[in-house]
Chains A and B, each alone.
Chain A
C-alpha cells in the first residue's frame, strides 16, 4: 500500500505481517442510531482516498427509529474496496462488524465461511440477546465456529477512551462507531486522516468536546487493533489502476443533481427542479437546494402532482425543467406527464425506483417501474426512457435526458433505483468546458406566412419552443387534441389519427444522445445477458467470471429503453441464448419479446436487494 499521508505511530518493523488482498468486502451493522452509515461512509472515503476502487451499499430500515435493539432496527453499510476495477459492493462479506446481537442475526448470512466477525461483546447481554431472538449467546455457544470470531468490548473501550472528554454518557455511547471504525481502519491498513479531518470539519468549531472524543476513540480503536493479540495479521488492498484525473466519491442521487445542473449550464439556462420528498429520491432535492448560486431554482411542492405541473409550467416558460420522485410519485404524475406529451414540452422526470407495488419497500431497491415508464399513461402517450447503470453513470444519463428532451420537445423519464441512488463510487470529474453544448432556439419570428404555427414540426418532428414574452408569437397550448400545424383545438377524426401518429413517430425516431448500451465481451457467442439499470455491476462481474471459466458469455446493459436502440435486434440474434436478469418479474424480457418476437429467459429476483454475482452465474449455469 502506498500511504499518502503521515504513517501510523508504530514503526513498520514491529507491525504484524501485512497480507495483500485484491479485494475486500466489509459490512458495518448495528442498531439504527449506532452510526453505522457514518462509519461505513467514512471507511469508504478512507479507502477511496487511499486509491482503491470502491463500491458501497447502504442497507437501512424504513422506520425512522424502530425499538432499540430489535431486528427491525438493524442498519447496515457494506463496502467493497479493491485494487482492481470492481462493479458491485461485493457478494460475500469478508469482515462483519456487529454492534449488537440483532445486527449479527440479520447479517450473518452475508458473511463468507471463515470470514471475520468483530462483535461488540458488551452488547451481547441477556436483554439484547432476547430482543434479537437468541436463546443462547452465539459468542459463547460455539455456533460461530465456522468464522473468525473477534470479541471486542467496544462499549467499555470506547467509554474508557473518551472519559477525559467530559461528554454525557449518551454522547459517549454515540462515539462507539468511531472506535469500531478505528479497528477496521487498522485491520485493513487504511489511513485515519480522512475520518480525522471529517471529525474536525464537522465538530471542532461548535462541539469541540465531541470532536475531541471522536478523534480519541478513533485512534483508540486503531491502536487496539495494533496492540492487542486479537488480530494476527493486517490486510492491505493496493491502489487501483484508475485513469489519471481528479476523482470524487459520488452517489447516484448526487450525480443526477450535478448532471442536471451541468445540462442547464451547457444550454446557458436556469435549472428548475420541482419535487416532493420521497425515499429514496429526496437527496436530489437536498443537493440541488444548496446550488442556488449555480442558477438552480428548487421548489418543494405540496405534492407530486404539483411538482410535475410546475415542471411543465416552467418548461412552457423556457426553463430547463425537471422533477424527481420514486414509484408512487410517478403514479401521481401520470396525468401531468400526459399533458407534457400533448403539449410537447421538454421535461426530465427522474424515477429512483424502489420496492413496490403501492408503498412497498421504501428503502429497498427494485426495478419494477419499466412498464409504468414505457406504457403507463392513458391514450397513445409515448415517452422516451433512459436508465442509468451506476452511480457515476447517473451524471451522464441526466445530461443525455435533457439533450433529448430539448431536441425532440418531449418529456423524458430517467430511471435509476435505490441502490444506484444511494451507493457511492469514485467518479472522474469531467471537464465541462470540453463538453458539447446543448443548443436551444426560441423562435422570435413567425414560422409561416400565415403567422406563427406552434405545431409546425421540423424534420425530426419537434415543434418550435416559442416561449411567453415573445411578441407576435402568442399562442395557446393545452391537453385537448389539436390540429396539425396550427395547434387549434380539433376533434376532427383524421386529424386525431394524424397527430397520434406524428407524436409516436417523433419518439420512435429519437436517436440516443450517448451510449445506447454498455457491452462486455464479444458481440456474438453462446449466451448474452441483457440487463438494464443498476444491475450492470453484478451482471458484468458475473460475465467476466464466466468468461474466465471458458464460457462464451457476453453482457449488454441497455441504457436506452424507449425507443429501443437501433442494432439491438441484430445483437440479440447473434447469440444462441439471451437471458434477461432483472429485479422484477420480467418487464424488460416482456418488452424485448414483444419488440423482436423472440423467446427469452429471465433471471428474476424481487427481494429488495441487488443481485449478487453468484446469483447471476447460477442463473446462467442452470441453463447451460
Chain B
C-alpha cells in the first residue's frame, strides 16, 4: 500500500493515534491487543492520521474507529466493505482499513466479503474472530464450533463452522493471514506484512471474548500449550512445531494426496517421520471429507502470514518477493497455501 509519509516532521508515536474517546471494551477483551498493535504499526510505518481511515461494520470489533485519532466511519452491519470500497475508489490516495468481526464479515457481510477479496483493491481488512456474537450478548456465529450451546442454540448448533481463510482463498484473495490476539509480537508482524501488501490484505485475528466465549483459543494463547498447538507457516521452512521443533505435520497418506506429499517434504527426516500436511477431519471426528478414517492426533492450527505466491493471474511471480530472506512468519509458498485451504 502506498503509505504516505508523515506530513509532520517526526513520525507519530503510537499514543498519537489514540482518540480522546474512552475505550469501552470489557476488561480482558482481545480487542485491546489488536488496537495496541495497530497503533504501533501505524507509528512504525510512518502513517499519517489525516489520510488514514478506519471503516467498520457493527459489533464489538466495529467500535474500533472511535478509538483511533484518524478519520473513521462506523457503518452498518456487514457493509463496511461497501463503504470502504466506495471511499477507496473515489480517493485512492487514502489508506483505508476495514475492521470487522466473524458475524459482521461472514454472516450478514459474507457476500461483500467475497467480492472484496476478488476485487483486490488496495485496502486492509482485519477480522476479529471470537467465534461468538458478543455485542448482542452471546448468540452463535458462523465460526462457532459445531454443537455450540448458546442462548439461541440451547441444544447446540447444527452447522459446522466456516473458515474465514478458506472463504478468502476461495474468493481469490491475494493475501490471507491469521494471527492471535495473545501473541502480540506475531500479531504486530502480521499487521505489518498486511500494510506492506499492495492489494487487499485479509488478516484473521483469533480474538478472545472474555465475557461470552472465554477461552476459545486458550490452547494457543496459553504459553504452556502454545508450542504444541501452533504452527507458524514460514516460507521455505518445514512445517514443524513443538517446543523443540520436533513435531511435524503429516498429510494423511493414501489417495489423491499421495503424490503431492512427496513433492512437499522439503524437511529433513525427523524421528523417522516425513513432514507433510495433515488433512484435518471436517465432518466428524475420525472421518475425513473423503470418507477415509483418520486417527485423531489433536488439532494443529496453521498460523501464517503472507501473500499467495501462486497467483499467476495477479502477475506475481511464484514465490512472491523471493529476494526476501525467509524469516519468521514469512511468505507462504504456493503449495502450502493451496493445502492450507483444505484445513
Contacts and interface: CB of A to CB of B under 8 A. Distances in A.
Q: Do A and B come from one complex?
A: yes
A489 interface: yes
A270 interface: yes
9 contacts: A299-B89, A302-B114, A303-B111, A314-B87, A317-B90, A474-B50, A474-B70, A474-B71, A478-B75
Interface string A474-493: 11111110000000110000
A318 B72 contact: no
Given A306-B112, A474-B69, A478-B74, A313 B94 contact: no
A297 B76 contact: no
B79 A297 contact: no
By Cβ-Cβ distance, the 7 closest A-B pairs, closest first, are A309-B82, A478-B74, A310-B86, A313-B86, A476-B72, A313-B87, A313-B83
Given A305-B82, A474-B70, A476-B19, A336 B76 contact: yes
Interface string A429-467: 000000000000000000000000000000000000001
A474 B76 CA distance: 21
B49 interface: yes
Given A312-B75, A479-B75, A469 B94 contact: yes
B93 interface: yes
Nearest to B80: A309
Contacts of B84: 313
Contacts of B55: 313
Query: Which of A310, A313, A315, A343 is packed against the most chain B CB atoms within 10 Å?
Result: A313
A550 interface: no
A274 B69 contact: no
B152 interface: no
Interface residue SS majority, chain B: mixed
A479 B74 contact: yes
Contacts of A336: 76, 79, 82
B65 A478 contact: yes
Given A302-B112, A305-B79, A468-B50, A313 B71 contact: no
B200 interface: no
Contacts of B82: 301, 305-310, 312-313, 336
Contacts of A272: 86, 89-90
Interface string A312-326: 111111110100000
A316 B93 contact: no
B51 interface: yes
B115 interface: yes
B223 interface: no
Query: Which of B49, B52, B53 is packed against the most chain A CB atoms within 10 Å?
Result: B53
Nearest to A306: B82
Interface residues of A, number: 44
Query: Which of B7, B70, B91 is packed against the most chain A CB atoms within 10 Å?
Result: B91
A567 interface: no
Interface string A331-372: 000011001000100000000000000000000000000000
A522 interface: no
Contacts of B52: 468
A476 B86 contact: no
Contacts of A468: 50-53, 71, 87, 91, 94
A8 to B, nearest CB: 53
Contacts of B83: 309-310, 312-313, 316
B73 interface: yes
A479 B89 contact: no
Contact of B74 (A311, A318, A472, A476): A476
A471 interface: yes
Given A306-B112, A476-B66, A488-B21, A335 B76 contact: yes
A309 B88 CA distance: 12
A372 B266 CA distance: 63
Nearest to B118: A302
Given A274-B86, A469-B50, A306 B75 contact: no
Contacts of B66: 476, 478, 489
A301 B50 CA distance: 28
A312 B52 CA distance: 17
Interface string A401-428: 0000000000000000000000000000
Contact of A479 (B48, B76, B85, B114): B76
A470 interface: yes
Contacts of A335: 76, 79
B92 to A, nearest CB: 10
B7 A471 contact: yes
Query: Which of A318, A321, A468, A470 is packed against the most chain B CB atoms within 10 Å?
Result: A468
A469 B51 contact: yes
Nearest to B21: A488
B87 A317 contact: yes
